[in-house]
Amino acid sequence: MRPLAGFDYSRSGNPTRAGLEACLRSLEGGEACAAFSSGLAACSAVLQSLRPGDGVAASHDLYGGTFRLLDKVFAPWGLEVAFAQNAGLDAYERAIGALRRPRLLWIETPTNPLLDVLDIVALSDLARKRGMLSVVDNTFATSYLQRPLELGADLVVHSTTKYASGHSDVVSGAVIARSGGLLEGIRFLQNATGAIPGPLDCYLVQRGLKTLAVRMDRHCANAQALAESLVGAKGIRRVVYPGLDSHPGHALAARQMRGFGGMVSVELEGGAEAARRFFIPGANLRLRGKSGRRGIVVLSSRHYDSRQRAAGNQTGARDRRRDRAAQCGDRKRGRSDRRCAASPRPGRLISQADRSGRAREEQIGGTCQTKAEH
Ligand SMILES: Cc1ncc(COP(=O)(O)O)c(C=O)c1O
């Protein structure tokens, strides 16, 4: 049998993967897309396309795995990384100012887990003025709720493992670029390092994308209802959801997103101990990092149905326990105190941990022992 024209070896190109890439590219309004075997593989390819010595300024709050990647893999590899201290534009300006050779602005919005909303137009503009590329991790919003390329970003990364595929049966990721030229180095890495998704995974993500719009509408409705019902509830200190008027990023989210997303964070009275009890009574969970110590837990709207609530028929206690346990298992983070095996080049990490306003600098040598807050 003759191979399909242009497809002679599946790591270099595969028709099902090409179909998924065309679909993701069009959903984001980009010119080019490269699919990867996970969201973190997609993030890695973007970072690997930089050179040792290049500088990355990153969001103050960030998915723990992305933080670990910067902190434990790419800073030792030679990237210089500075974290903004908060969601304000001036905090990003300061982070960029701390870099010797600023190249990339890493924006995650809404952030995971604190759900801060960052101004994509303003930050992309800032990056452009400083001669940097901007990349937005659009996993939490999806291309249905937020289109960063239209707001000025250069690259978008996704963990399509989540909402995009929607069925919890695949791990995958993607990078989408505003222009084909911006993706060239990343596409080279896709083939050269080989973190490609298999054809079946590509099919599964495409199958999920067919229902993305209806699922996201329902996620938003469920999350809004859940957040409103938790405000003022016993044991809840604070509810964080961009759809609430009380959220500092509410107006911005209304401007740059079609809906407010499916994730809700709550801060419990009683801190980490209360959060531990909330998940599984009696379980000896280790809650780590800033959010863990403050007792912040993140709820997915998957676990709440606004229709059931309207009918006064909430999920049974056993289902709730199972869902909480499943979510807790999903959210294994905080492995960041492990030492990194290979760290050939010394890099520099400007930590977000110092809340006094002064960035703390740490030289990273053979082993990486920097503060990891996630
Ligand atoms: C915002 C965000 N980006 C990236 C990732 C990494 O994706 P994956 O688990 O597909 O590697 C995650 C995973 O939770 C995430 O929440």
Task: Report the pocket of ligand 1 as residue ranges, CB < 6 Å.
Answer: 38-40, 63, 65-66, 108, 112, 137, 139-140, 159, 161, 171, 173
Give distance in angstroms: CA of 108 to centre of ligand 1.
11
Q: By percentage, how much of the chain surpasses pLDDT 90?
A: 68
The answer to whether 349 and 45 have CB atoms below 8 angstroms apart is: no
Would you call 63 a catalytic residue per the annotation?
Answer: yes
Known catalytic membership, residue 125: no
Return the ligand 1 atom nearest residue 139 CA: 1
Res 276: pLDDT: 79
138 or 352, higher pLDDT: 138
One DSSP character per residue, 188-225 reads: HHHHHH--PPPHHHHHHHHHHHTTHHHHHHHHHHHHHH
The whole-number average pLDDT for the span 328-337 is 35
pTM score of the predicted model: 0.81
Which of 25, 54, 63, 154 does the annotation list as catalytic? 63
Specify the residue for token string 């390329």: 149
User: Which of 340, 351, 356, 353 lies closest to 76, judged by CA?
Assistant: 340
Measure 332 CA to ligand 1 centroid, in angstroms.
Answer: 12
What does DSSP say about strands 80-83 and 55-58: parallel, antiparallel, or unpaired?
Answer: parallel
Ramachandran category for residue 312: left, alpha or beta (phi over 0 → left; psi -120 to 50 → alpha): left
- For residue 8, the CA-to-ligand 1 centroid distance in Å is 31
288-304 pLDDT, tens digit per residue, is 555 565 566 676 665 45
CATH number of this structure's domain 15-209+337-364 = 3.40.640.10
User: Are 347 and 52 contacting, i.e. CB atoms less than 8 angstroms apart?
Assistant: yes
The model's pLDDT over 239-288, given as tens digits with 9 standing for 90+, comes to 999 999 999 999 999 999 999 999 999 999 988 888 877 776 655 555 55
Is 162 an annotated catalytic residue?
A: yes
Is 137 annotated as catalytic?
Answer: yes
The catalytic position among 61, 137, 201, 305 is 137
Share of the chain above pLDDT 70, in %: 74
Residues paired with 261 in a beta bridge: none
Give per-residue pLDDT as tens, 343-373: 334 456 664 433 333 333 333 322 222 222 3
What does the mean pLDDT of the chain come to? 83
How far is it, in rounded angstroms, from Cα 44 to Cα 190? 10
**189-198 per-position pLDDT tens digit:** 999 999 999 9
Domain ranges in the chain with CATH number 3.90.1150.10:
212-330
Q: Please tell me the distance between residue 307's alpha carbon and the centre of ligand 1 in angstroms.
A: 29
- CATH for 212-330 is 3.90.1150.10
Within the chain, all domains assigned CATH 3.40.640.10 are found at 15-209+337-364
Q: What is the pLDDT of residue 147?
A: 98
Helix (H, G, I), strand (E, B) or coil at 313: coil
Average pLDDT over residues 99-111: 98
Atom nearest to 330 CA in ligand 1? 14
136 backbone dihedrals φ, ψ, rounded to 5°: -115, 125
More confident residue, 55 or 328: 55
